[in-house]
Chain A
Amino acid sequence: MAKISEKTVLNMSRLPILMSRISRSILTLVAFSFVTVSASFAAETDTTKAAAPAATPALNGKGEQLFKENCKSCHKIHEESVGPALTGVKQRHDAAWLHAWVKNSTVVIASGDKAAVALFAKYNKAVMTSFPTFTNEEIDAIIDYVESVPKPPVDVPKGPTDGTGTQGGGEYDTVILGLIVVVLVLVLVAMFIFLSVIKRYLKDKEANLDAEDKELLNQKFDVKAFVRSKGFITIVVLLFVGVTVKTCWVGAQEVGVEQNYAPVQPIAFSHKLHAGDNQINCNYCHTGAYKGKQSNIPSLNICMNCHTYIKKGPNTGEAEIKKLTDAYAAGTPIKWVRVHNLPDLAYFNHSQHTQVAGIECQKCHGPIEEMEVVKQQSNLTMGWCINCHRETAVNSKDNAYYDRLLKVHAESKKKNDMTAEEMGGLDCSKCHY
């Protein structure tokens, strides 16, 4: 026995060396790929920087904001939408005309202005919303912003420049895992070979061994006895119970969790088309998202703002839009299927998170602008809420409400920014009352 173990130890002692060799090669691989990835990232940031429009920031800020809040739902800068593409509008019309048109286009059309009448006719006689409260300066600011946005380069699909690509992280994990498995298998095989070599060697010297060692050398593996052994049964039972409990536990935690719930809606409304391609601001339809508790489903009259004129869409043609206009004409509201169902016992307020905390809708709702059919992206469990409250820094900038809290936080000498947890974001009564 003693000899055997000595030899084994000897042999085993070589394993770390092998491992260290392997890991060294892995490290090299990882290091190499990391360099490539960061290089590709660096290249990307450079291009974005170059693409940023260079214009007077003060004016532009206002113009951009006004454009997004008021114009974007019907106009795009470089493409036609409900209304014409706005780029080059300065060349097409003079400033006075534009001011008059934006403030009240109906008056301009009624005055018999040729350009106006032609424009009106071209766009299906859709009346542009009047903005009588805009000042001339504000209209100019919008136009300046519109003109300052350069035409985006033609979309060339970005191919990977080399084998690693930008999504390398995941692949490396797989590669490393694979390598480890291969190495382990090799080790196993080596050990078997080693064992049989020793056995054969000892068989030759059988005469020299004592009775105990002989028995050990000649023993056969008895499957039946093994299966009936107490130890085996205990282990199997324990494993079975463990797996069952685990399955039940996991299952129980998923009761009522409807992640990825994506019901079919009565109208095949596409968020990808509206929020993604047409870039309509979420707030345009979900009017309560920044104001109140509910980010309400838009009332039909909001849909009809655009669909009075747009009767045909790129996805489904006329059929789906017709459902909408018919419902409006008949005076029956659409019965949408509710996707996000928070239990009644939890109070959630959208405006707290959007308006105050400045969180993007996508943070909880996922890439909604890419969804043809909306699905519940997050699991909406309490753990998910709490986790975010633990990790997220409070948007306390320029908000006097947080003065006292920030002072306390500064005194606590914590290194991180103040989180929602620190200001009571985990209190039960924040959500349950």
Chain B
Amino acid sequence: MKDNNKVFWKGVEELGNSPEFLKNAQNEFPEFLPLKNSSEESNGTDRRDFLKLLGFSVAAVSLAACEAPVKKAIPYLNKPEEIEPGIANYYASTFVDGGEYCSVLVKTREGRPIKIDGNKLSGVTKGGTNARVQASVLSLYDEARIQGPLVKGKPATWAQLDKEVGAKLSSVAASGGNIRIVSPTVLSPTTKKAIAEFKAKYPTTEHVQYDANSSYGILKANQTSFGQAVIPSYDFSKADVIVGFGADFLGTWISPIEFFSQYADTRRLSKTKKTMSQHFQFETALSLTGSNADYRQPIKPSQEGLFVAELYNRIVAAKVATTPIKNDTLDRATKALLENKDKGLKSLVVSGSNDVNVQILVNEINLALGNYGTTISLATPSYQKQGNDEAMNTFIDDAAAGKISAVFFYGSNPVFDHARGAELAKALKAISLTVSFADRADETASLLEFVAPDHHYLEAWSDAEPKAGFYSLGQPSISPIFKTRAAQESLLSWSGNSVDYYTYLKSNWSSILGGASWDQALQDGVFEPKNKSGVEVTTSTFDRSSVEAGIVKNYPANTSGIELKLYEKIGLGTGSQANNPWLQELPDPISKATWDNYVAVSAGYAKTNSLEQGDLVTVKAANYSVVLPILIQPGQAANTASIAIGYGRTNVGKCGNDIGKNVYPFARFVDGTVLDFVTGISITPVGEKYKLAQTQTQHTLMARPIIQDALLSEYINDPSAGRFIPKISTPDGKVAPALVDIWKDQHHQPNHLWSMSIDLNTCLGCGACVIACQAENNVAVVGKQEVLNAREMHWIRIDRYYSSDAEPKETGKYFTNDAEGIGYGTLEIASENPQVTFQPMMCQHCNHAPCETVCPVAATTHSSEGLNQMTYNRCIGTRYCANNCPYKVRRFNWFKYFDNEEKFDKNVSMNTSLGRMVLNPDVTVRSRGVMEKCSFCVQKIQEGKLKAKKEKRHIVDGEVTTACAAACASGAILFGDLRDTEGKVYQERNVNNIERTYTVLEELNVQPNVTYLTKIRNISKA
């Protein structure tokens, strides 16, 4: 009750109370939006429309009267033994995209991969996934993929390509010309072996690895400190205090899926575990990681070195002479780290900086805190970032100087995703042999003479070693759709080895397996002997003067002017899957923007420079400039701007082309590493407006306690701290809402009561569940215009709420004038750095569902297992249910999204014959005019029940789960049968976290089957 006054708000729109926001806030459906293009004049139903309608009706009636068309059933000629139509098969495989790694299970139906799940056997990703992994199945069916080898941009045969490449290679080799293979991080030991074989045949070959979002600074720092140019493996789960400097380790930094579950483990609370980690984050843009931190300090990127140096000076006795920093959050962090150390507990300090000197200081801090061996391990290094910025820089220099005779681009697209891409594009013309293994004629490949397309990972044999001793196998789950060939096979054949890649991989694995079973490794997808660990470091080499000099040089004491920070989005990443409409439409966890990148600036900056949301501005640095819209981002450091990389592709396909602007060229090569920030930029308005498609600008909280939160200290004293317990006034006094009931009959659930429990402490807001749900339930992509019209179709959304401890002058005042100084206006200062809470919101499956009572045709009803059922074929589209839903989770099909390429060409999974292969055959594709919503994945429930019935047993807890719960890397979403008292949901809700459990809008007494656990922050009161 105490937290009743705390104010949460959804975004700057709500703070500003703009007229447009107010309009959307009040309306469930934005009515009267033009269905036609604005150029066409709409003047109601005219005679022609009437005639059309008449004609259609007559045609429809006569069609219905006809005999049903003859349908053919064509069986297999020879049915493969393992395929039984209607029954899914699962194959363990490995998702690899550059250094990104995830061990996965691929669900196939009749030979088509349709869904990706995490592989629980993996010791690295532990069954977790992220949005990009979930969406990768749609990238398989991308029509922009090239269908076979290209020679000079024209389709050719493999024989022709092999002949021409072979001839050129021998002439290059004969003249002793330099050959380069340019790739991102290569995780596959077998690919590396194949490259080594190629090198042996052509000794002038060098393999250049670079990462679009580089971590080369860490490699170099570890080389300096410990003599090993590797990235250590981190274990956040053992850290009691976590300090991050610009490292978005929950979103995009090194191994986010792995860190996600580790971090969530430290944030989980229960009756038996009342401790949680304390997390400090110093960063420029509000990242996913920063939004989960207990204390967050917005800093300018040019201050990061000073902050790290200051922390170093406070932790380590010996000091570096840099400008001292006075900062409250840093004081707290120092105190927490030192106290933690005194208690003998471990901590972890990480930095996302690519500056070697900063990373060396971070190494020293961790060493001084005794973290090596527990939270950081160099003995089991991570291989997920091996990119060498210096080597790549040298390569581009060499190419520009005409010193390169042949170049192979394997999985890389440097013309797009390298800072010096434009230079490279010019230099490529002079190289005599240019080959790409890209799956499409991308920005780089389209400039080259040969394209030898590689398989998609779901079509290929592959392997990976993301961490030392953690091996992973990938097997094809579909035959190659196009005439593609494994890149390794191409390389091997050009080096004179005509072995197929499967045989090559298997024979290479016999040495990895060392006698262990190949079949077992293939079935498990992973092989983790864990016997490879080396010796943990205890001492380091530290050259104070050079570090000091580096910091002083790169981080001046006083910086004025605007700084630009480049960052990676959790949806699009580095842009390799930019043609995936699921990822383009995934709302950014923080800004909720879709289909664009933008210039994020703080509210203060916007105010002083009279900028508004959506104003187009020119962002100009010394060497590059772009025009992008402004997005006012709470939490953005003052006088900074952030722009996401990965956008602005020009040769990726119809869904990703010309979406946003490419900002890679802003990055600078300084002292051997690529830095992702620029100082001294200018932002000048163009004078035009641009509409950014954000979700969550409609509907409002109406100042209701949807988020319930408390501090850890309060929680320890009273586990129900922060709970809002509503009372309803009746003539007999105030009573609990459950006692005021208009429903006479209760629903009975004799066998199952499907329920969900969501822990707001471990929901870190990544959005993997959104894409998993989209893939599982055939959810349509609506495109930017329809998102602008607030008609997105996602069944699960992650609501992001900002809040602040600042007290408003008066509560309950909602639509008030700022000038009067009451309402939300007073919170603007707080909005500079708000607290953030994520709340996944989907159909709550109310047992007293308001939607069910208003449906005139009983299309939405309650099942005997507690589900709120939606029967599409019965729905007539009155939308009463959505109007009556207090959670605003129902989605209306305003259009026919399938077989409608004219209007919804970006909804590829329903509009192209290739894209349709991804559809889940067990879930209906909804037609125009019907309502839809989360079904608790009823198809999976039914499947699980059938399996149990066949095996004559009860359902085992965890056997039946929803797509969102299965995708969640942090285990925040639990799903199960509440009738199973041993089950996880029952235990969480009624035993372990009974006091934290609440239902959203309990005062309405709609009795949802989804419950939430209060958010607990590890913040001291003082």
Binding site for B on A (CB under 8 A): 255-256, 258, 263, 287-288, 291-294, 296-302, 328, 331-338, 341, 343-345, 347, 349, 351-352, 355-356, 398-401, 403-405, 408, 422-424, 427-430, 432-433
- Contacts known (A255-B65, A428-B863, A428-B871); A299 close to B79, Cβ less than 8 A: yes
Given contacts A334-B74, A335-B73, A433-B938, 18 further A-B contacts (CB under 8 A): A255-B64, A287-B84, A288-B87, A291-B84, A292-B84, A292-B87, A293-B86, A299-B75, A299-B78, A333-B76, A351-B950, A352-B946, A399-B949, A423-B751, A432-B871, A432-B873, A432-B924, A433-B924
CB distance from B871 to the nearest CB of A (A): 4
CB distance from A301 to the nearest CB of B (A): 5
CB nearest neighbor in B for A300: B77
Interface residues of B in 944-960 (CB under 8 A from A): 945-946, 948-950, 952-955
Query: Across the interface, which residues of B come within 8 angstroms of A335, CB to CB?
Result: 72-74
CB nearest neighbor in B for A294: B86
CB distance from A137 to the nearest CB of B (A): 26
C-alpha spacing A337/B75, complex, angstroms: 11
CB nearest neighbor in B for A429: B869
Is B243 an interface residue, CB under 8 A from the partner?
A: no
CB distance from A275 to the nearest CB of B (A): 17
Is B57 an interface residue, CB under 8 A from the partner?
A: no
Say yes or no: A433 contacts B935, CB within 8 Å.
Answer: yes
List 18 contacting pairs A-B, 8 Å CB cutoff, sorted by A.
A256-B64, A288-B85, A291-B87, A293-B86, A293-B922, A299-B78, A336-B72, A336-B75, A337-B73, A343-B873, A344-B924, A345-B873, A352-B949, A424-B865, A427-B869, A429-B871, A432-B871, A433-B939
- Contacts known (A352-B946, A399-B949, A423-B750); A256 close to B68, Cβ less than 8 A: yes
CB distance from A355 to the nearest CB of B (A): 6
Say yes or no: B78 contacts A301, CB within 8 Å.
Answer: yes
CB nearest neighbor in A for B867: A429
CB nearest neighbor in B for A357: B949
Query: Across the interface, which residues of B come within 8 angstroms of A336, CB to CB?
Result: 72-75
C-alpha spacing A293/B947, complex, angstroms: 12
Query: Across the interface, which residues of B come within 8 angstroms of A427, CB to CB?
Result: 861, 863-865, 867, 869
Say yes or no: A356 contacts B949, CB within 8 Å.
Answer: yes
Say yes or no: A338 contacts B73, CB within 8 Å.
Answer: yes
Say yes or no: A404 contacts B71, CB within 8 Å.
Answer: no
Closest 7 CB pairs of A and B: A293-B86, A424-B864, A299-B79, A299-B76, A429-B869, A292-B86, A427-B863
C-alpha spacing A293/B84, complex, angstroms: 9
Query: Across the interface, which residues of A come within 8 angstroms of B84, CB to CB?
Result: 287-288, 291-292, 296
Query: CB-CB contacts of B175-192 with A at 8 A, as 1s and 0s?
Result: 000000000000000000
C-alpha spacing A343/B871, complex, angstroms: 14
C-alpha spacing A298/B79, complex, angstroms: 9
Is B537 an interface residue, CB under 8 A from the partner?
A: no
Is B872 an interface residue, CB under 8 A from the partner?
A: yes
CB distance from B24 to the nearest CB of A (A): 31
CB distance from B824 to the nearest CB of A (A): 41
CB nearest neighbor in A for B862: A427
Say yes or no: B85 contacts A405, CB within 8 Å.
Answer: no
C-alpha spacing A335/B74, complex, angstroms: 5
C-alpha spacing A405/B86, complex, angstroms: 28
CB nearest neighbor in A for B64: A255
C-alpha spacing A84/B72, complex, angstroms: 37
CB distance from A15 to the nearest CB of B (A): 49
B77 partner, pick from A299, A352, A405, beta carbons under 8 A? A299
A401 partner, pick from B76, B865, B953, beta carbons under 8 A? B953
CB nearest neighbor in B for A296: B85
Is B167 an interface residue, CB under 8 A from the partner?
A: no
C-alpha spacing A344/B898, complex, angstroms: 15
CB nearest neighbor in B for A422: B750
Query: Across the interface, which residues of B come within 8 angstroms of A401, CB to CB?
Result: 945, 948-949, 952-955
Query: CB-CB contacts of B94-123 with A at 8 A, as 1s and 0s?
Result: 000000000000000000000000000000
Binding site for A on B (CB under 8 A): 64-65, 68, 70-79, 84-87, 750-751, 861, 863-865, 867, 869, 871-874, 922-924, 935, 938-939, 942, 945-946, 948-950, 952-955, 979
Say yes or no: A428 contacts B953, CB within 8 Å.
Answer: no
CB nearest neighbor in B for A433: B938
C-alpha spacing A323/B70, complex, angstroms: 21
CB distance from B68 to the nearest CB of A (A): 6
Query: Across the interface, which residues of A come within 8 angstroms of B73, CB to CB?
Result: 297, 335-338
Say yes or no: B77 contacts A332, CB within 8 Å.
Answer: yes
CB nearest neighbor in A for B78: A301
CB distance from A296 to the nearest CB of B (A): 5
Say yes or no: A298 contacts B75, CB within 8 Å.
Answer: yes
C-alpha spacing A294/B829, complex, angstroms: 62
- Contacts known (A288-B86, A405-B751); A428 close to B71, Cβ less than 8 A: no
B923 partner, pick from A292, A296, A433, beta carbons under 8 A? A433
Query: Across the interface, which residues of A come within 8 angstroms of B71, CB to CB?
Result: 337-338, 341
CB nearest neighbor in B for A411: B750
Query: Across the interface, which residues of A come within 8 angstroms of B948, CB to CB?
Result: 401
C-alpha spacing A238/B872, complex, angstroms: 37
- Contacts known (A433-B938, A433-B939); A301 close to B950, Cβ less than 8 A: no
Say yes or no: A347 contacts B922, CB within 8 Å.
Answer: yes
Query: Across the interface, which residues of B come within 8 angstroms of A331, CB to CB?
Result: 77
C-alpha spacing A292/B863, complex, angstroms: 24
Query: Across the interface, which residues of A come within 8 angstroms of B861, CB to CB?
Result: 427-428
C-alpha spacing A408/B952, complex, angstroms: 18
CB distance from A433 to the nearest CB of B (A): 5
CB distance from B4 to the nearest CB of A (A): 38
C-alpha spacing A293/B75, complex, angstroms: 15
Query: Across the interface, which residues of A come within 8 angstroms of B87, CB to CB?
Result: 288, 291-293
CB distance from B747 to the nearest CB of A (A): 11
C-alpha spacing A408/B73, complex, angstroms: 43
B78 partner, pick from A287, A300, A403, beta carbons under 8 A? A300
CB distance from B154 to the nearest CB of A (A): 32
Most buried by A among B64, B77, B946: B77
Query: Across the interface, which residues of B come within 8 angstroms of A333, CB to CB?
Result: 74-77
C-alpha spacing A283/B75, complex, angstroms: 16
CB nearest neighbor in A for B72: A335
Query: Across the interface, which residues of A come within 8 angstroms of B864, CB to CB?
Result: 423-424, 427
Say yes or no: A301 contacts B954, CB within 8 Å.
Answer: no
Most buried by B among A293, A298, A334, A352: A293
CB distance from B752 to the nearest CB of A (A): 9
Say yes or no: A345 contacts B872, CB within 8 Å.
Answer: yes
Query: Across the interface, which residues of B come within 8 angstroms of A299, CB to CB?
Result: 75-79
Say yes or no: A328 contacts B77, CB within 8 Å.
Answer: yes
C-alpha spacing A404/B285, complex, angstroms: 54
C-alpha spacing A352/B87, complex, angstroms: 13
C-alpha spacing A398/B952, complex, angstroms: 7
Query: Across the interface, which residues of B come within 8 angstroms of A287, CB to CB?
Result: 79, 84
Most buried by A among B750, B751, B924, B935: B750
Say yes or no: B863 contacts A424, CB within 8 Å.
Answer: yes
CB distance from A182 to the nearest CB of B (A): 42
CB nearest neighbor in B for A430: B942
C-alpha spacing A429/B86, complex, angstroms: 19
C-alpha spacing A432/B871, complex, angstroms: 6
Query: Across the interface, which residues of B come within 8 angstroms of A292, CB to CB?
Result: 84-87
CB distance from A420 to the nearest CB of B (A): 11
C-alpha spacing A18/B865, complex, angstroms: 60
C-alpha spacing A263/B69, complex, angstroms: 11
- Contacts known (A351-B950, A433-B935); A404 close to B751, Cβ less than 8 A: yes
Query: Across the interface, which residues of A come within 8 angstroms of B939, CB to CB?
Result: 347, 433
C-alpha spacing A333/B74, complex, angstroms: 7
Say yes or no: A263 contacts B70, CB within 8 Å.
Answer: yes
CB nearest neighbor in B for A298: B75
C-alpha spacing A356/B943, complex, angstroms: 13
B68 partner, pick from A341, A344, A349, beta carbons under 8 A? A341
Say yes or no: A301 contacts B79, CB within 8 Å.
Answer: yes
Query: Across the interface, which residues of B come within 8 angstroms of A430, CB to CB?
Result: 863, 942
CB distance from B681 to the nearest CB of A (A): 52
- Contacts known (A345-B924, A401-B949, A433-B938); A300 close to B72, Cβ less than 8 A: no
